[in-house]
């Protein structure tokens, strides 16, 4: 039964990675940039919830809502101020370094405001969960909510991207910015919308991550951010189902290797899987191969 418990825990962590990766893959697919600050949006979202719920004593739902709204604004604002002016820059590295700058900025702002000490985050999901198989398998409430929410988000995003006009605009911009502009699509607005969705998802992921692993520091978001990017690459950048699969695979592998192999080597194994997958399929599990033309 301990295998099942680990597996469910892996599924839960994987769902959190998947939610972050969904946002990451959309942002990457459209803006074609490695947004190193994405993980820090998770941290910012968590601190906002922490402030509203633990410090001000408001209802968790209010905290989550405020966090989502503020993170959305943060994402859109960051794109507008720091990334958009560099979109046509001579080197793609320029916007990458700016993203690193934004990441440093958010981490150090949090350090300044909240201090370096670990804050213990109270779970926003009070439900204690269910017990299966006569007490052998206990599933926490936050685990169930996380898994359900990630599936719901996946379905909603798939519907949004393929069935709505804004979603179609996103696909068009991701494929060819120039052609999309010619078709009358407002590229700036579409990219802003993508950043809004990505950052809102980061806020949701932050709430779930800190409910499952209740310690919050200014660097909480960095590693999950990187792992989620790895998940997005694993599934094939730009592919929404790919991000989901990549996230789940990563989470399950991480928890299982932590339980059965070595807690110190679990990260090495997770990154090793990425290497192996990219060797076999250089564009990820569900990525499309684009032919390079002269």
Partner 1 sequence: MSNTNQTAASAAPASILKAAEGKRRRNDLITFGIVIVVYAILEILMKTGLLSSHLKGLLVPMAYYAVVAVALNLCVGILGELSLGHAGFMCIGAFSSALFSQIFQNSMPAAPRFFLAFVIGVAVSALFGFLIGIPVLRLNGDYLAIVTLAFGEIIKNILNALYLGLDSRGFHASLQNVMALGLEPDGTVLVNGAMGITGTPHDSNFTIAIIVLLLSLLVVRNFIGSGQGRAVMSIRDNRIAAESIGINITKFKMTAFTISAAIAGAAGVLFSHNISTLQASSQYFGYNVSIMILVYVVLGGIGSIRGSVIAASVLYLLPELLRGLNKYRMLIYSIVLIVVMLINWAPKAVAKRDELLAGFRSGRKRKV
- Please give the residue ranges that form the binding site for partner 1 (CB under 8 A): 28, 34, 36, 82, 85-86, 88-91, 93-94, 96-98, 100-102, 104-105, 107-109, 111-112, 222, 226, 229-230, 233, 237, 262, 264-265, 267-268, 271-272, 274-275, 278-279, 282-283, 292, 294
Q: Is residue 232 within 8 Å of 24, Cβ to Cβ?
A: yes
Smallest gap from Cβ 78 to partner 1, in A, equals 10
Cβ closest to partner 1, residue 142 vs residue 277 = 277
For the CB of residue 194, give the shortest distance to partner 1 in the complex, in Å. 17
Nearer to partner 1, 56 or 112 (CB): 112
| Cβ atoms < 10 Å from Cβ of 36 | 20
**CB of residue 254 vs partner 1: minimum separation in angstroms?**
12
Half-sphere exposure of 205 (CA within 13 A, CB side): 38
* Exposure string over 220-245, b if 16+ CB within 10 A, otherwise e: bbbebbebbbbbbbbbbbbbbbbbbb
Reference 99, options 110, 115, 84, 114; nearest CA is: 84
Instruction: State in angstroms the smallest separation of the CB of 149 from partner 1.
Output: 26
Closest CB to partner 1 among residues 105, 137: 105
For residues 21 and 247, the answer to whether their CB atoms sit within 8 Å is yes
């Amino acid at each position: 039964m301990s295998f099942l418990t680990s597996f469910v825990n892996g599924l839960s962590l994987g769902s959190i990675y998947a939610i972050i990766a969904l946002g990451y893959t959309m942002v990457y697919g459209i803006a074609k940039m490695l947004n190193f600050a994405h993980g820090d949006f998770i941290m910012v979202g968590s601190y906002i919830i922490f402030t509203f719920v633990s410090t001000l004593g408001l209802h968790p739902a209010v905290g989550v809502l405020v966090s989502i709204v503020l993170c959305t604004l943060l994402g859109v604002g960051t794109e507008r101020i720091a990334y958009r002016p560099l979109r046509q820059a001579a080197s793609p590295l320029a916007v990458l370094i700016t993203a690193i700058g934004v990441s440093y900025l958010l981490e150090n702002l949090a350090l300044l405001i909240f201090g370096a000490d670990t804050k213990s985050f109270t779970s926003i999901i009070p439900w204690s969960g269910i017990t299966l198989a006569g007490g052998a398998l206990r599933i926490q409430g936050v685990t169930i909510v996380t898994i359900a929410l990630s599936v719901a988000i996946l379905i909603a995003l798939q519907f949004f991207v393929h069935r709505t006009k804004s979603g179609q605009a996103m696909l068009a911009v991701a494929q060819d910015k120039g052609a999309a502009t010619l078709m009358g699509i407002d590229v700036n607005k579409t990219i802003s919308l993508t950043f809004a969705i990505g950052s809102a998802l980061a806020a949701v992921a932050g709430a779930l991550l800190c409910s499952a692993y209740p310690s919050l520091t200014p660097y909480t978001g960095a590693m999950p951010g990187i792992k989620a990017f790895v998940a997005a690459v694993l599934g094939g950048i730009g592919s929404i189902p790919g991000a989901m699969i990549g996230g789940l695979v990563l989470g399950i592998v991480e928890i299982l290797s932590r339980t059965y192999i070595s807690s110190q080597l679990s990260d090495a194994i997770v990154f090793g899987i990425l290497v192996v997958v990219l060797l076999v399929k250089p564009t990820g599990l569900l990525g499309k191969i684009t032919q390079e033309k002269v």
